[in-house]
Amino acid sequence: MRLYHADAGVPKITTPFVNPPHYFEMTFTAEAGRPYRLWIRAKAQDDFWGNDSVWVQFSDSVNSSGAAVFRIGTTTGTEINLEDCSGCGLSGWGWQDNGWGVGVLGPQIFFQSTGTHTIRIQGREDGISIDQIVISPSTYLFTSPGALKNDNTVLPASGGGTPQPQPPTLTSVSPNTGSTVGGTSVNITGTNFSAGATVKFDSSAATNVTVVSSTSITATVPAHAAGPVNVIVTNTDGQSATLTSGFTYVAPQTETTLLEDDFNDNSLNLAKWSSNNLFSGFTDSTVQTLETNLRLQIGGLFSGQDGSHYNGLRSAAAYNFTGGYSYVELVQGPATTTKADAMFTVGIDSSNYYRIYVEEGVLICQTRIGGTKRTLFTTAYSSSAHRWWRIRHDQSTGRVVFETTSDIAASWVTQYSEPWNTAAVPLSSVMFELKGGTWQPEAVAPGTVVFDNFRAARP
């Protein structure tokens, strides 16, 4: 049996009809989100290139991005020309897809939903015969069912049948490391995930499993002993996939909290902090320093006053900072149109310290050793990108590291590092300081400096 569009000498139809006067339709089954290749076996009357093409449309075809294409009832379609290229010639029956050019495959076909679909073929040039149509997701996805010329391949008839569920595959787990206590949120990527799929890390079931799509699952990692484990995704039909050593459990590093304050009690904790007693410079106790609105507030800072007017908090004790880190959130800095400062300092006295501060819209890393100040790094200050400041001692390299981040849960960005001068700033006894203030008359009110969420810790 074959379809034959008699050669009536009609001009080539350059655009598919919304309602064609003559067409052929049939139904088949296919799965959503899976690529298919369209092939037809055809023959051009008299092997003439003007008798060798058709328009093909589908009921719910989409491209790889999910946008509707080649739809029945529109003026778009995918074109199949039996001749492989201009001048390639034709000879008898041959297999062709919707590509043009020698060795060129056309666009793959995707479908919006799983189930029954309709294919419509309407003429582009008359004088063409078709006896076989193949829509293949695997066997003929990249290989033609037969020859381009003088073909004698006859495939067994099939309407697609009920789509058989495909086994899942696993590509990656991100992040691929986490604590042995569990609780790490991960994204698992792969293919053919089905609603209701389960996830295990070795034999331990993950929680909060959400099948976002056929290629993405989110889950919360269970607790497990340290070391690499296999990640297993199992669909509801029992088919599963395993990513060998797809996740590695790491024992959490135990650390000692040196000093921590979220300022949420709205009362200065004098067991942790010393007020009106800065170590890195002159203290003006008339600059208001208080906990309010669950934060540490310094100011309003003075305008129109000459000289040094700084206040804030310093740690009530000195600490062993070997391998330690300390960070703070700058919620609000001084007005960028002034030279007023918001400062975070780690050190021992006014002549020996490391500091991050912001002044006149510039983020600055600074050190003072033996009374000599050095500016280490400057960049335009961003209240969002530089909201969190961290100074730490890298024990493996012996360096002081200045870092910033937009969020405590995000990655820290190193702004500068150099060897820690342990002679000038002994790691065995450092203090921490948060302060704000002015050092010259300001014509514009500098505003208020607001800090939050201070923490210092070491292994």
The answer to whether residues 327 and 347 belong to one domain is: yes
Domain finish residue from 80, 113, 136: 136
pLDDT of amino acid 1:
65
Please, what sign has the CA dihedral across residues 247, 388, 404, 396?
negative
Residues 31 and 132 in one domain: yes
Evaluate whether residue 148 is within a structural domain: no
Domain assignment present for 161: no
> Is the same domain home to 188 and 323?
no
Residues 84 and 218 in one domain: no
* Within a domain: 365: yes
> What is the mean pLDDT of the segment spanning 172-177?
95
For the chain, percent of residues with pLDDT exceeding 70: 98
Distances (CA, A) of 424 to 248, 343, 410: 41, 20, 32
Does 269 share its domain with 358?
yes
β-strands 204-205, 198-201: how paired?
antiparallel
304 and 186 belong to one structural domain:
no
Whether 446 and 298 share a structural domain = yes
pLDDT band at 162 (very low <50, low <70, confident <90, very high): very low
**Confidence bin at 161 (pLDDT 50/70/90):** very low
Whether residue 275 sits in one domain with residue 324? yes
**How does DSSP classify residue 149?**
S
Which of 199, 225, 250 is the endpoint of a domain?
250
Q: Evaluate whether 160 touches 111 at the Cβ level (below 8 Å).
A: no
Could you tell me which residues come within 8 angstroms of residue 376 by beta carbon, excluding any fewer than 6 positions away? 365, 366, 367, 402, 416, 418
Sorted by sequence, the CB contacts under 8 Å of residue 372 that are 6+ apart come out as none
pLDDT tens for 227-285 read 999 999 999 989 999 999 999 999 877 789 999 999 999 999 999 999 999 999 999 99
Give the residue-averaged pLDDT of 432-437. 98
Average of per-residue pLDDT values in the chain:
93
Work out how many domains the chain is built from and give that number: 3
Of 237, 214, 95, 238, the residue nearest 162 (C-alpha): 237
Give the mean model confidence (pLDDT) for residues 184-188.
95
Paired residues of 229 in beta bridges: 247
Classify residue 354 as exposed, middle or buried by CB count within 10 Å of its CB (0-12, 13-18, 19+). buried
Q: Can you tell me the distance from the alpha carbon of 233 to that of 231, in angstroms, rounded to the nearest whole number?
A: 7
The reply to whether 298 and 387 lie within a common domain is: yes
- Give residue-wise pLDDT tens across range 369-394: 999 999 999 999 999 999 999 999 99
pLDDT digits (tens, 9 = 90+) for 24-79: 899 999 999 899 999 999 999 999 988 889 999 999 999 988 999 999 999 999 99
The CATH number covering residue 232 comes to 2.60.40.10
Q: Which residue has the tokens 């381009």?
A: 148
Is residue 174's pLDDT more than 70? Answer: yes
Residue 149 lies in a domain: no
What is the structure's pLDDT at 412? 93
| Domain extent at residue 232 | 169-250
Identify whether 404 is part of a domain.
Answer: yes
- Which CATH number covers residue 84? 2.60.120
Asked whether residue 197 is assigned to any structural domain, the reply reads yes
Structure tokens at 242: 């395993």
pTM of the model: 0.50
Domain co-membership, 45 together with 190? no
Clarify whether residues 215 and 262 are in a common domain.
no
- 202 in the same domain as 56: no
Look at residues 227, 250, 273 and tell me which one is the last residue of a structural domain.
250
